[in-house]
Amino acid sequence: MSVVEADGKTPAKDQSKLAFGHTVHPLVAGGGKTPIAAPTGDPSIKLSIRVGPPVLGRGYMEAVLDSEIRRLVAEQAARTDGIKGRINLVAYQSEPNPTGKVHATKKGDKVIGRFGLKARIPFLDDFVADAAQGDMGITSPLRPKEIPNPDGLTDDAKPGVDLGLESLNLRADYIRLIAIPRRPGLTTRGAELFASTKCGVCHASGLATRPDYPIALLAGIKADVYTDFLLHDMGDELADGLPAGEDGEATYRDWRTAPLIGLRFMKNYLHDSRAHSVEEAIAMHKGTGSEASGSVDLFQALSPTDSATLLAFVEAL
Ligand code: HEC
């Protein structure tokens, strides 16, 4: 949910109508009585959908070096075709993880966001803690506070912190260890077309990972994540009206390049699953002000054979 201006897309300065945040919570538990719903019949409220995040290959994404992401920013800044990704520099929201295994970030530190549709979250333990607290009302040592709710409850049916540190870290490790599925169907010609139509500028692969990443299999390798982790202006048509500040520095028109991992298992595409085929997803990259419009033009100018080869490549990722 977002409060927008009369144009239906620009975020309004005053978001106070949404006192309990931008996310609809239709269910209640632990003594709560009042679900969080969108105000009805209010034309200033824009509703948009976000699909749940895929979990495949996320360890590789956490392991990629910050310097690789910065390199991509610099390379794109030098381009003249309008593709200019930006890092979502976010203030770390969790308490420090006492194990310090993957990172020793402290609350408030500015770090590169990588996860979530707008790269709001930098690390996977933070992701688990954020999702547990925000989506399910489950507190943990990283996120010990119940979030404000219409019933003013400060604790639930289980007093104190709900999820122990070990349990939280095991969940993060589980997500870290899910592999990128094998991609036996990739062709050299498909990869060439992926590069020549500029898909690979944003959907970057072969990114170097940290040599000191604590999971040895993911340390010091090249990760084919098919994302640059950067925010791109994707134009009016994909905009969701959410003000900057809700997702770090991301504006209402920005989306992080979707990692193309496990794409061959997906049936719907884009942040709200509005596209029902890869071809549709590509076409929807084009829009008023979208950085990807030129890439779509290149795709649509391909011969039928090349177009089919590129689609088969993407569908095999
Ligand atoms: C300017 C950067 C940019 C370029 C160029 C680009 N993309 Fe994307 N792509 C994105 C972003 C950002 C998203 C997420 C948009 C959203 O969710 O609304 C995305 C999403 C996708 C998705 C959907 C993935 C999912 O998980 O739902 C596919 C498929 C895709 N792109 C393929 C391509 C192909 C093929 C090309 C080349 C023809 C291409 N993209 C060019 C930035 C780019």
State in Å: Cα 256 to ligand 1 middle.
9
For Cα atoms 154, 149, 93, give the angle at the middle one, nearest 5 degrees.
Answer: 75
Per-residue pLDDT averaged across 95-100, rounded? 94
Mutate which of 285, 286, 297, 311 to test ligand 1's pocket (most atoms within 8 Å of Cβ)?
285
Q: Which among 123, 142, 12, 7 has a CA at the least distance from the CA of 59? A: 123
> Would you state the CATH architecture of domain 188-315?
Orthogonal Bundle (1.10)
Pocket test for ligand 1, best of 81, 88, 233, 257 (most atoms within 8 A of CB): 257
Q: Does residue 89 contact residue 110 with C-beta atoms inside 8 Å?
A: yes
Residue 156 has a pLDDT of 87
Cβ atoms < 10 Å from Cβ of 91: 12
**How large is the greatest C-alpha to C-alpha distance in the chain, in angstroms?**
63
Question: pLDDT at position 145, please?
Answer: 94
| CA 23 to centroid of ligand 1, rounded, Å | 24
- For 195, which DSSP code? H
Ligand 1 atom, smallest distance to 255 CA: 12
C-alpha span between 48 and 50 (Å, rounded): 7
Which of the four pLDDT bands, split at 50, 70 and 90, describes residue 40? Answer: confident
pLDDT band at 57 (very low <50, low <70, confident <90, very high): very high
C-alpha 87 – ligand 1 centre gap (Å): 17
Q: CB of 197 closer than 6 A to ligand 1?
A: yes
Question: What is the spatial distance between Cα 47 and Cα 241, in angstroms, rounded to a whole number?
Answer: 9
Query: Token pair for residue 36?
Result: 């969080």
Averaged pLDDT for residues 306-317: 98
pLDDT over threshold 90, residue 261:
yes
Cα–Cα nearest to 54, from 182, 179, 230, 237? 179
**Distance of CA 200 from the midpoint of ligand 1 (Å):** 10
Residue 156 identity = D
Span from the CA of 282 to the centroid of ligand 1 (angstroms) = 7
Query: Among 27-31, 33-37, 65-69, 125-129, which stretch is predicted with the lowest mean pLDDT?
Result: 27-31
Chain-wide mean pLDDT for the chain? 95
Give the per-residue pLDDT at 66: 98
Residue 271 CB–ligand 1 contact under 6 Å: yes
Task: Indicate whether residue 234 lines ligand 1 (CB < 6 A).
Answer: yes
Interval 107-161: pLDDT, tens: 999 999 999 999 999 999 999 999 999 988 899 999 999 999 999 999 988 889 9
Q: Is the CB of 203 under 6 A from ligand 1?
A: yes
Q: Name the β-bridge partners of 112.
A: 89
The CA 278 to ligand 1 mean position distance, Å, reads 9
